[in-house]
């Protein structure tokens, strides 16, 4: 490592002073004694250490050599690999060092019983192993939905996706896919095309059920899973008809849960968010888990503009929401949604300060719809002065004793009831905590 060289051995003929009383002649005639060389004492072997952490020594000045740039590139690549290994084990080294510092010098530690192991497979590896089989089993139950609407010169065309939920010919899709449709055609993976009729719709959850006559064709239905068991990070698979590219499969993960899809006539609490590629035409198609079970109905994407495609923000209606109303839709009956009859806002810091609330939580009642359960229970619309400054407002903070954090939580809570159920509302008004009882009505048709 170092350039300095030295010989640790003593000189072969060291000079020694002549003894007193001995003549120079005698000194010359006496043969010279040759003493055996005494080896230098060797340092004692250091005790075995349990763990020897890496040491960093100062590097000697490099000497000029004939190695070219290619050698440096190779050395750099090797160093990069070593650095990656060092980074990946850095935390382990630190923990071991801190732990061993408190042990006796010759302490022999037994092998740990348990240790954190790296993930055996990445999401991509898991997906690559199961997606082909899932596609083979599920794709025959998926359909592309082609829609024609309007009349004469005002005809429109659109497309979406759907999937068979009953071998008798019932297909689940999104309401917005078949809204105002005059003619609906579905196509299966084997190329079979059938005419479909709408038998049931629910605008609030953006779901619809179609019916086809399979004739001699044996239809395959999907397996409906349990969206309440879905976990963030698990595999998500979408099959659909994006931009008319029939039976396209994409995959990603479950990015988040409990999102809310809110449009003018649609309110879907608890929506599933995924980064699996979902584009126009995927609407109504299934979102699957790693077992091939349907956990959601692909419904919407969030994009910078209407001309943008997928940016990794896709949303699906939880399949449990669909399962709750499927029998009603398949029977051609109207789905009745419980309705309180209020327009709401979220309590933020401003509302909390103006209304004198203890915390920025709850759903503030902005307006009460006349003749609804809210009005009958005693809820009031927000009051403002002549300068449009807020004076007073009711804030709903709990339903049947369960805390309400914001307006979305209140909507989700109300949707768990049925029409005609009585609920107890905890309301804060002008600093006073009130209890009101409301009998939920049916949501009116928009």
- With vertex at residue 167, the alpha carbon angle to CA 164 and CA 170, rounded to the nearest 5 degrees, is 50
The tokens of 172 are what? 């689940």
Instruction: Please state, in angstroms and rounded to a whole number, the distance separating the CA atoms of residues 316 and 227.
Output: 10
User: Is there a contact between 267 and 261 (Cβ–Cβ < 8 Å)?
Assistant: yes
Catalytic-role residue among 146, 159, 176, 255: 176
The residue to which tokens 């309110």 are assigned = 267
Non-local CB neighbours of 305 within 8 Å, separated by 6+ positions: none
Catalytic-role residue among 159, 161, 227, 283: 283
Q: Is 169 left (phi over 0), alpha (psi -120 to 50) or beta?
A: left
Q: Is 346 a catalytic residue?
A: no
Closest CA to 182 of 226, 152, 161, 139: 152
Q: Is 392 a catalytic residue?
A: no
Catalytic-role residue among 146, 202, 206, 406: 206
Q: Is 206 a catalytic residue?
A: yes
Instruction: Please state, in angstroms and rounded to a whole number, the distance separating the CA atoms of residues 55 and 386.
Output: 76
Non-local CB neighbours of 165 within 8 Å, separated by 6+ positions: 171, 172, 209, 221, 222, 224, 326
CA distance from start to end of the chain: 85
Closest CA to 211 of 324, 326, 299, 106: 326
The tokens of 381 are what? 């619309």
Instruction: Please state, in angstroms and rounded to a whole number, the distance separating the CA atoms of residues 206 and 148.
Output: 19
Q: Is 362 left (phi over 0), alpha (psi -120 to 50) or beta?
A: left
The tokens of 132 are what? 């082909």
- For residue 174, list its beta bridge partners: 207
The residue to which tokens 């479909």 are assigned = 196
Instruction: Please state, in angstroms and rounded to a whole number, the distance separating the CA atoms of residues 259 and 280.
Output: 20
Residues of 111-149 as b/e, b for ≥16 C-beta within 10 angstroms?
eeeeeeeeeeeebeebbeebbeebbeebbbbbbbbbbeb
Total Cβ atoms within 10 A of residue 279 = 21
Provide the annotated active-site residues. 176, 206, 283
């Amino acid at each position: 490592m170092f350039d300095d060289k030295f010989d640790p051995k003593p000189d072969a003929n060291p000079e020694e002073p002549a003894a007193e009383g001995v003549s120079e002649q005698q000194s010359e005639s006496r043969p010279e004694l040759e003493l055996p060389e005494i080896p230098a004492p060797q340092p004692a072997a250091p005790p075995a250490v349990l763990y020897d952490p890496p040491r960093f020594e100062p590097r000697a000045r490099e000497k000029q050599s004939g190695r070219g740039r290619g050698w440096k590139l190779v050395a750099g690549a090797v160093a990069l690999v070593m650095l990656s290994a060092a980074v990946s084990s850095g935390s382990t080294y630190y923990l071991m060092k801190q732990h061993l510092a408190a042990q006796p010098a010759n302490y022999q530690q037994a092998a740990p019983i348990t240790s954190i192991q790296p993930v055996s497979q990445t999401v991509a590896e898991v997906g690559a192993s199961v997606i082909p089989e899932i596609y083979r089993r599920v794709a025959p139950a998926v359909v592309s939905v082609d829609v024609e609407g309007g009349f004469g010169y005002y005809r429109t065309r659109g497309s979406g996706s759907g999937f068979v939920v009953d071998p008798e010919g019932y297909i689940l899709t999104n309401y917005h896919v078949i809204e105002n449709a005059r003619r609906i055609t579905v196509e299966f993976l084997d190329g079979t095309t059938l005419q479909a009729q709408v038998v049931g719709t629910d605008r609030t959850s953006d779901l619809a059920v179609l019916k086809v006559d399979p004739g001699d064709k044996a239809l395959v239905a999907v397996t409906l899973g349990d969206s309440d068991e879905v976990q963030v990070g698990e595999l998500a698979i979408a099959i659909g008809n994006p931009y008319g590219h029939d039976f396209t499969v994409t995959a990603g993960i479950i990015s988040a849960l409990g999102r809310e899809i809110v449009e003018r006539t649609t309110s879907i609490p608890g929506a599933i968010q995924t980064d699996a590629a979902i584009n126009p035409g995927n609407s109504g198609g299934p979102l699957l888990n790693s077992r091939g079970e349907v956990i959601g109905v692909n419904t919407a994407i969030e994009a910078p503009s209407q001309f943008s495609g997928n940016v990794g923000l896709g949303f699906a209606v939880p399949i449990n929401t669909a399962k709750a109303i499927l029998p009603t839709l398949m029977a051609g009956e109207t789905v009745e949604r419980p309705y309180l009859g209020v327009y709401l806002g979220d309590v933020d810091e401003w509302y909390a300060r103006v209304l004198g609330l203890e915390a920025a939580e709850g759903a503030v009642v902005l307006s009460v719809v006349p003749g609804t359960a809210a009005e009958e229970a005693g809820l009031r619309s927000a009051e403002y002065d002549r300068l449009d400054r807020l004076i007073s407002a009711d804030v709903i903070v709990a339903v049947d004793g369960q805390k309400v954090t914001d307006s979305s939580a209140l909507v989700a809570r109300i949707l768990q009831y049925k029409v005609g159920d009585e609920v107890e509302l905890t309301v804060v008004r002008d600093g006073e905590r009130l209890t009101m009882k409301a009998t939920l009505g049916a949501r009116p048709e928009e």
